[in-house]
Amino acid sequence: MLQTSGAFKENAAGAMADAGLQRALARSKPQFAKKRLAAVEKLPEFEALREAAKNIKNHAIANLDFYLEAYAAAVEASGGVVHWCATAEDARRAVLNICRAAGAETVTKGKSMVTEEIGLNDYLEANGITPVETDLGEYILQLRHESPSHIIAPAFHLNREDWEASFRKSHTDLPPNRVFGERRDILTEARGKLREKFLAADVGITGANFLIAETGSSVIVTNEGNGDLTQTLPRVHVVVTSIEKVVPTIEDTLTLLRVLARSATGQDMSVYTTFSTGGRRPGDPDGPEEYHVVLLDNGRSGMVGTEFQDMLRCIRCAACMNHCPVYGAVGGHAYGSTYPGPMGAVLTPMLVGVEVSAHLPNASTFCGKCESVCPVKIPLPGLMRHWREREFERHLTPATMRYGLGLWAFFARRPLLYRLGTRAAALALGWLGRRSSRFSWLPLAGAWTKTRDFPAPEGDTFFAQYAARQKALGQKSVGQKAVGQ
Amino acid sequence: MSRAAILGAIQRGLKRGPLPVDQRAMLTGRMLAHPRHVVPMRGQLDQAGRVAMFAAYVEREFGTVARLRSYADVPGAVALYLAQQNVAPALVVSPHPDLQSIAFSDAPMLSVRFGTALPSDAVCLTQAFAGVAETGTLMLPSGPTRPTSNNLLPDNALVVVAAERIVASYEDAFDLLRAAQKMPRNVMLVTGPSRSADIEQTLELGAHGPRRLHVLIIDGEG
Residue A432 has pLDDT above 80, yes or no: yes
Give B142's contacts in chain A (Cβ within 8 Å). 284, 286-287
Confidence band for B29, pLDDT divided at 50, 70 and 90: very high
Are B141 and B58 found together in one domain? yes
For position A2, what pLDDT does the model report?
A: 63
Residue B201 has pLDDT above 90, yes or no: no
Are A432 and A285 found together in one domain? no
The residue-averaged pLDDT of A109-126 equals 96
Tens digits of residue pLDDT in A39-62: 999 999 999 999 999 999 999 999
- Nearest 5 degrees, angle CA A176-CA A180-CA A183? 145
Are B61 and B83 found together in one domain? yes
Are A287 and A406 found together in one domain? no
Is A159 an interface residue toward B (CB < 8 Å)? Answer: yes
Helix spans in chain B (H): 2-13, 21-33, 47-60, 74-84, 97-100, 149-152, 170-180
Residue A80 has pLDDT above 90, yes or no: yes
Distance from the Cα of residue A294 to its chain's centroid: 22
Residue A396 to residues A6, A349, B32: CA-CA distances in angstroms? Answer: 12, 13, 49
Residue A89's domain is classified under what CATH number? 3.40.50.10420
Classify residue A350: in a domain, yes or no.
no
The answer to whether the Cβ–Cβ distance between B143 and A68 falls below 8 Å is no
Classify residue A29: in a domain, yes or no.
no
Are B90 and B148 found together in one domain? yes
Query: Could you tell me how many residues make up chain B?
Result: 222
Are B206 and B103 found together in one domain? yes
Confidence band for B20, pLDDT divided at 50, 70 and 90: very high
Are A266 and A404 found together in one domain? no
For position A484, what pLDDT does the model report?
A: 43
Classify residue A323: in a domain, yes or no.
no
Are A279 and A413 found together in one domain? no
**Cβ atoms of A222 and A272 closer than 8 Å:** yes
Residue A230 has pLDDT above 50, yes or no: yes
For position B188, what pLDDT does the model report?
A: 98
Domain boundary among A303, A327, A356: A303
Classify residue A32: in a domain, yes or no.
no
Calpha distance B186→A291 (Å, rounded): 12
**Number of structural domains, chain A?**
2
Residue B56 has pLDDT above 70, yes or no: yes
The answer to whether the Cβ–Cβ distance between B149 and A243 falls below 8 Å is no
Q: Which residues contact A15 (CB under 8 A, 6 or more apart)?
A: A21, A329, A330, A331, A333, A334
Q: Which residues contact A334 (CB under 8 A, 6 or more apart)?
A: A8, A11, A12, A14, A15, A340
The residue-averaged pLDDT of A193-206 equals 94
Are B115 and B155 found together in one domain? yes
Residue A336 to residues A119, A294, A298, A300: CA-CA distances in angstroms? Answer: 14, 26, 18, 20
Residues 147-186 of B with CB under 8 A from A: 147-149, 151-153, 169-171, 174, 183-186
Question: Which domain does B186 fall in, by range?
Answer: 43-218
Confidence band for A447, pLDDT divided at 50, 70 and 90: confident
Classify residue A295: in a domain, yes or no.
yes
For position A311, what pLDDT does the model report?
A: 98
End-to-end CA distance of chain A: 81
Are B1 and B87 found together in one domain? no
Q: Which residues contact A17 (CB under 8 A, 6 or more apart)?
A: none
Give A224's contacts in chain B (Cβ within 8 Å). 194-196, 207-209
Are A412 and A299 found together in one domain? no
**Cβ atoms of A369 and A378 closer than 8 Å:** no
Calpha distance A264→A341 (Å, rounded): 14
User: What value does the CA radius of gyration of chain B take, rounded to a whole number of Å?
Assistant: 21
Are B24 and B134 found together in one domain? no
The residue-averaged pLDDT of A141-161 equals 93
Torsion region of A291: left, alpha or beta (phi above 0 gives left; psi -120 to 50 gives alpha) = beta
Query: Count of alpha carbons within 13 Å of A38, Cβ hemisphere only?
Result: 10
Classify residue A20: in a domain, yes or no.
no
Confidence band for A29, pLDDT divided at 50, 70 and 90: confident
The answer to whether the Cβ–Cβ distance between A254 and B174 falls below 8 Å is yes
Q: Which long-range contacts (C-beta less than 8 Å, at least 24 apart) are formed by A10-14?
A: A11/A330, A11/A333, A11/A334, A11/A335, A11/A336, A12/A329, A12/A330, A12/A334, A12/A363, A14/A334
Residues 71-90 of B with CB under 8 A from A: none
Residue B76 has pLDDT above 60, yes or no: yes
Question: Which domain does A471 fall in, by range?
Answer: 400-484
For position A403, what pLDDT does the model report?
A: 87
Are B109 and B186 found together in one domain? yes
For position A440, what pLDDT does the model report?
A: 84
Q: Say what percent of chain A tops pLDDT 70.
A: 98
The answer to whether the Cβ–Cβ distance between A186 and B199 falls below 8 Å is yes
The residue-averaged pLDDT of A33-38 equals 96
For position A189, what pLDDT does the model report?
A: 94
For position A485, what pLDDT does the model report?
A: 44
Classify residue A357: in a domain, yes or no.
no
Are B23 and B107 found together in one domain? no
Query: Could you tell me how many residues make up chain A?
Result: 485
**Cβ atoms of A304 and B10 closer than 8 Å:** yes
Classify residue A388: in a domain, yes or no.
no
Amino acid identity at A413: R
Q: Say what percent of chain B tops pLDDT 70.
A: 99
Domain boundary among A286, A303, A320: A303
Q: Say what percent of chain B tops pLDDT 90.
A: 92
**Cβ atoms of A119 and A92 closer than 8 Å:** yes
Is B113 an interface residue toward A (CB < 8 Å)? Answer: no
**Number of structural domains, chain B?**
2
Give B116's contacts in chain A (Cβ within 8 Å). 285-286
Is B31 an interface residue toward A (CB < 8 Å)? Answer: yes
Calpha distance A33→A322 (Å, rounded): 7
**Mind telling me how many Å the CA of A69 is from chain B's nearest CA?**
9
**Cβ atoms of A293 and A117 closer than 8 Å:** no
A204 SS3 class:
strand
For position A480, what pLDDT does the model report?
A: 54
Residues 127-156 of A with CB under 8 A from B: 134-137, 140, 153-156
The residue-averaged pLDDT of A261-270 equals 97
Are A71 and A185 found together in one domain? yes
For position A355, what pLDDT does the model report?
A: 86
Are B56 and B18 found together in one domain? no
A435 SS3 class:
coil
Tens digits of residue pLDDT in B85-136: 999 999 999 999 999 999 999 888 999 999 999 999 999 999 999 999 999 9
Chain B interface, best mutation among A161, A275, A291, by max B CB count within 10 A: A275
The residue-averaged pLDDT of B180-196 equals 97
Residue A444 has pLDDT above 80, yes or no: no
Identify the weakest region by mean pLDDT among A55-59, A257-261, A413-417, B186-190.
A413-417
For position B222, what pLDDT does the model report?
A: 53
Pick the closest to residue B216 from B75, B42, B115 (CA basis): B75
The residue-averaged pLDDT of A110-131 equals 96
Domain boundary among A303, A318, A349: A303
For position A391, what pLDDT does the model report?
A: 85
For position A478, what pLDDT does the model report?
A: 59
Mean pLDDT across chain A: 92
Is B21 an interface residue toward A (CB < 8 Å)? Answer: no
Residue A66 has pLDDT above 70, yes or no: yes
Are B115 and B162 found together in one domain? yes
Are B21 and B128 found together in one domain? no
Quick one: three-class SS letters along A175-187? CCCCCCCCHHHHH
Tens digits of residue pLDDT in A362-388: 888 899 999 999 999 999 999 999 999
The answer to whether the Cβ–Cβ distance between B6 and A297 falls below 8 Å is yes
